[in-house]
Structure 1
């Protein structure tokens, strides 16, 4: 799949920010009309997530949000174990291919999954008249 987007290191450009979570997995689906990115963001709301285009062809997905712990309502409550992973900061960058339509991007966050859809340009067909000499 990475060959569609250029060299692998160009396609998935991780942040150099050491504090960002670089292990957030992403699934990318190539359909005839779109590129669809799926990212697990448990416990984050849509207001915690930012999806932007930088440098005309780089999709950037970031979050500085942190999942809030459910505190006990009664005094004297405390956690005995904390195993659920908190996403913390997320920063992922993807260089988009030439046929990506950056003006046709949508994003939704539902049930802990961020779905970003990047439309594709429809190929333009040009008819060339052939002359006989």
Structure 2
């Protein structure tokens, strides 16, 4: 006696994987918001080198003139604004999905006692703000004390 099997599932071939990818891509397309978020928090990395610390903040699309860097009472504050692209008007593009964050931001970092706040330097290149925080050589000088 022969047994017949019926498979109700479509063939699992390359076309099904491609169909699933397009369904996921197009199915996730939601109407975008017309107003961006009021602010965001840029990612920060802190590195330590032989000369001091380096603070790197990821700020894509933020121009130099939109940044303020301030040091007061041992606290470094980096603030600014990332403006959203224009989405209103006749020739403006229509937002379909928005994942980028826009608006004002402010990050504060407590400086270690061994940082020379007067010698801090900042450079904005390729959307990354690099702050060099050199050691204060007067505070980091090691000395050997002889026991008598």
TM-score for the superposition, normalised by structure 1: 0.68
Say which structure is richer in strand: 1
Higher relative contact order (CA 8 A, sep 6+): 1
Q: Which consecutive residues of structure 1, in runs of 5 or more, have no partner in the other structure?
A: 1-18
Counterpart of 1:102 in structure 2 is: 117
Q: Which consecutive residues of structure 2, in runs of 5 or more, have no partner in the other structure?
A: 1-37
Counterpart of 1:16 in structure 2 is: none
- Cα 1:79/1:128, change in 2 over 3 Å: same
2:79 corresponds to 1:62: yes
RMSD, aligned CA: 2.7
- Cα 1:76/1:105, change in 2 over 3 Å: closer
- After TM superposition, give the deviation of residue 121 of structure 1 in Å: 1.4
Distance in 2, Cα, partners of 1:61 & 1:77? 31
TM-score for the superposition, normalised by structure 2: 0.62
Q: Larger C-alpha radius of gyration, 1 or 2?
A: 2
Say which structure is richer in helix: 2
Counterpart of 2:3 in structure 1 is: none
Counterpart of 2:30 in structure 1 is: none
- After TM superposition, give the deviation of residue 117 of structure 1 in Å: 0.9
Distance in 2, Cα, partners of 1:87 & 1:80? 14
